[in-house]
Chains A and B, each alone.
Chain A
Amino acid sequence: MGINVGGTELETDEEGYLLNLNDWTRDAAEELAKSESIEMTESHWEVIDFLREYYDEYQIAPAVRVLTKAIGKKLGKEKGNSKYLYELFPYGPAKQACKVAGLPKPTGCI
């Protein structure tokens, strides 16, 4: 399985998550977002950039609460809640935003 980004086929798992972290580019993110019927805006990018940074440091996506707090601190309190994140990523910020950010899908009882 895979997605086509600018003529290059990138490998994904059954659910469309990139298999290789290093395959991710901003163009890949646009394609991944399309597969989720999400149109990327500035606000989406703010979340994606934070996720990538966090993953670089911790090798895992942040907890939703950590994400909302960080977004709140950076972009203002009105954005620091999960409602805002669900508006951007309706299927759930943890799973859907991770997919667009090219991160592995979080697993477990979540």
Chain B
Amino acid sequence: MADFQTPEFRQYPAIPNELVEGATAHLSPFVAKPNHQEQLGFPGELVDNWEEKAIEKMGDLLSKYRSLRVYMDACVKCGSCTDKCHYFQGTSDPKNMPVARQDLMRSVYRRYFTFAGKYFPKLVGARDLTREVLDEWYSYFHQCSQCRRCSVFCPYGIDTAEISMAAREIMDSIGYGQKYCNEILGKLQTIGNNLGLPGKALKATLEEFAEEIEEDTGLPVKIPLDQKGADILLITPSADFFAEPHIDGLMGYAKVFHEAGVSWTLSSYASEAANFSMFIGSYSNMKVVAERIRKAALDLGVKRIVVGECGHAWRVAYSFWNSVAGIGSGGDDPYAQQLQKQLDHSYPIPQHICEFTHDLLEKGQLRFDKSVNDSRTVTFHDSCNVARGTRMGNYPGGQFDIPRALIKASCNHYVEMDQDSIKEKTYCCGGGGGLLTDDLMEIRVKGALPRMEALDEVVKDHGVTNLAAICAICKAQFAKILPYYKFPMDMIVSTHQLVGEALVMKGSIQEKDLDEEEG
């Protein structure tokens, strides 16, 4: 276990009192191995003329993304963002202020791309891209979870996440990538999921879960794999096949699908919703990964695509799948066109599992026994990418209301955390954006501080027992860091776990018992 102190809770809400310069300057994730890099089309290791190449790449990104240039130019140093970052709050390191993180790139931008910076660098805080600066980039751009909370408070809407994505893209392009993201993306592109779970193992695992549901409900609920001709293809994070409490969420989806009477399937070829390409700012890799899903959808002949509980995946699905792969309108290559013809446009493409379940709820097709969850008092953690990068339903804010509606339909006791820590102002779990790796445990624990403080408040005031989430990263992060803050690990639950446990399926043991009780 790394040697660091879990932060003490502050008087809530609070800002750090004293800055600690360089508090987390020592943090730097493992560098990707040559084979991890090369699989993704990046140089295996730091290239000789890296400075020149990095500046060339930055110029390329600045010309492609107008937003990036605006973000570089627009900051007026108003200070609005400074205390909004969970990593800053948890570490007190001034370099974790969003403006300082942006300035890592802005200082280099000024030196190479602005008149003043070229001729009077000192006057405008412009810096050469030295090895020291590059290493500072590597450290602090991997202390950003790209959660975009700071951008909510920026009067110019500067998006630090996009800057951090661009920085990582530049570093990848000169052979200085991060092991966690890049190794995983390699597995995804060769085996079909982040875990590296081969088809045979996936099949055996799903059969075990189906058996468990059958034992519990007395119903032959299936978790189908590679079922040609099914109506719905479910694309869900592979953590749903492997980790706790993710698995319980998956079993919840299976129950809902069964109860809805629809035919559905998973795909062994595209057995992953996650697409870490977004974290590293690589649209070329994002496209490769999204095209696996398109291929699976075409091969299986499905009419609908539903996405499981995964935060950044929903942002990729909602905002990028259409243009990179033609899943949703957009995409003009023949395969995209073919898929457009095949999919049923009377449903959202893609559709979130929460939307799917919510539709049934609205139509009164689901019966719940909320008392099953009476031992729980639940609060909901909005995942940053869902909250600030997407929507659910057909109106602004649906992404906040729909998961809550599902939880409230399944539980009698529901409590909100402090309003500055939920919905569009939600705090990152501390492990998003490619930081969910053991070598960054210190920043993960410290970055979780504001969320843990808000949780502590509702635990003390309202006896909250469980924290529900709709993101695989949030779930894994909380399962790991809750104990650092003296909360039980199993406090974190999947939203569809609550749904699945309270759902009274037609013909199930639960239905029989409930009918007898109600006479």
Contact = CB atoms under 8 A, between A and B. Distances in A.
Interface of A: 14-15, 58-60, 62-66, 69, 82, 86, 91-92, 94-95, 104, 106-110
Contacts of B194: 107-109
B247 to A, nearest CB: 5
Contacts of B480: 92
A27 to B, nearest CB: 25
Interface of B: 1, 30, 179-180, 183-184, 187, 193-198, 200-201, 204-205, 208-209, 212, 237-239, 241-244, 246-247, 274, 310, 436, 438-439, 472-473, 475-476, 480, 489
11 contacts: A65-B212, A65-B247, A86-B489, A94-B243, A107-B180, A108-B238, A109-B237, A109-B243, A109-B475, A110-B239, A110-B242
B208 A65 contact: yes
Contacts, number: 84
Given A14-B439, A65-B244, A109 B472 contact: yes
A58 to B, nearest CB: 4
A15 B30 CA distance: 10
Given A60-B195, A65-B208, A14 B243 contact: no
B239 A108 contact: yes
The secondary-structure label for the interface of chain A is loop
Contacts of A59: 198, 200-201
Contacts of A109: 194, 237-239, 243, 246, 274, 310, 436, 472-473, 475-476
A109 B435 CA distance: 10
A106 B438 contact: no
Question: Which 6 A-B residue pairs are closest in the complex by CB-CB distance?
Answer: A108-B194, A58-B201, A109-B472, A110-B243, A109-B239, A63-B242
Nearest to B471: A109
B136 to A, nearest CB: 21
B200 A107 contact: no
Contacts of B274: 108-109
Contacts of A63: 205, 241-243, 247
A110 B193 CA distance: 13
Contact of B204 (A15, A58, A65, A95): A58
Contacts of B180: 107
B482 to A, nearest CB: 13
Contacts of A108: 184, 193-195, 237-239, 242, 274
A60 B198 contact: yes
A62 B237 CA distance: 16
A93 to B, nearest CB: 10
Contacts of B476: 109-110
Contacts of B238: 108-109
A65 B201 contact: no
A109 B470 CA distance: 13
Contacts of B209: 65
A15 B197 CA distance: 21
A95 B201 contact: no
Contact of A64 (B204, B243, B438, B475): B243
Nearest to A14: B30
Contacts of A86: 489
